[in-house]
Homo-oligomer: A and B are copies of this chain.
Amino acid sequence: MPTSPFAEHTARLARELATALVSEADDTRLAASAADIAARILAAAEAPHTVEIDAPSPGAAHIPFDITPASSPRNPLAPPMDIVWDGERSTCILTLPLQYQGPPGRVHGGIIALLLDHTLGNAANAGERPRSFTRYLNVLYEAATPIGEEIVVTGWAARQEGRKQFMEGTITVNGEVSVRAEGLWITPRENMTLVTSDGAEQR
């Protein structure tokens, strides 16, 4: 489904609420934050068509009507990831707040897998390629990936065999690799017929 300024505004407030919920142990102070956020949701809901936002999030180009928990601007579970494809690689630079934490100070290992799956999937589906899906994803955790610091998620195609694309990726922190991933993306046979360029069936 398409996003809207009102939906994205509300999702941003829902993200603020999630951060407050995992940051504030004192119920009285949490209630003050929650009330403030709820009042701003109510104010916008009174006139949803007049809401304006700064710098709308683009969502992921490879997913029509994105509602995913990774890149959708209107899904509060999504950071949201803003993934850029440069013709060879897909890259997302982001800083994750506390609601994505696993071990103290570190991004949850499952969230790391989510970031990599989505970025490798973006690269696998970039350009004119027919839509493909994850067959397997292997994630190797080499070092801590911090909460509250800028991290860079990158994905690229290592090689292609027919309908198969073998993808690779990393997460880096200050230029050092913290996580490596590899995975296989496969285009369903029926999707191949959607491709009009010569030799598509051999990809």
Interface code A98-134, partner B: CB below 8 Å = 1, 0 otherwise? 1111110000111101111110010000000000011
Interface code A1-28, partner B: CB below 8 Å = 1, 0 otherwise? 1101011001100100110011001011
Contact B137 A113 (CB under 8 A): yes
Distance from A31 Cβ to chain B, minimum over Cβ atoms (Å)? 4
Which residues does chain B contribute within 8 Å of A166, judged by CB atoms?
A: none
Question: Does A203 belong to the interface (CB within 8 Å)?
Answer: no
Which residues does chain B contribute within 8 Å of A118, judged by CB atoms?
A: 108, 110
Contact A38 B27 (CB under 8 A): no
A-side interface residues, number (CB < 8 Å)? 65
Picked from B22, B35, B46, the residue with its CB within 8 Å of the CB of A45 is B35
Distance from A202 Cβ to chain B, minimum over Cβ atoms (Å)? 24
Question: Does A58 belong to the interface (CB within 8 Å)?
Answer: no
Which residues does chain B contribute within 8 Å of A6, judged by CB atoms?
A: 27, 30-31
Interface code A47-64, partner B: CB below 8 Å = 1, 0 otherwise? 011000000000000000
Which residues does chain B contribute within 8 Å of A103, judged by CB atoms?
A: 133
- In the assembled complex, the Cα of A102 lies from the Cα of B30 at a distance in Å of 32
Contact A110 B100 (CB under 8 A): no
Which residues does chain B contribute within 8 Å of A102, judged by CB atoms?
A: 68
Question: Does A39 belong to the interface (CB within 8 Å)?
Answer: yes
Interface residues of A in 58-108 (CB under 8 A from B): 67-70, 72, 74-77, 98-103, 108
Once A35-B42, A75-B21 are accepted as A-B contacts, the answer to whether A99 and B67 lie under 8 Å apart by CB is yes
Seed contacts A22-B75, A27-B48; 7 additional CB < 8 Å A-B pairs? A22-B74, A67-B98, A77-B100, A108-B114, A108-B118, A135-B140, A136-B140
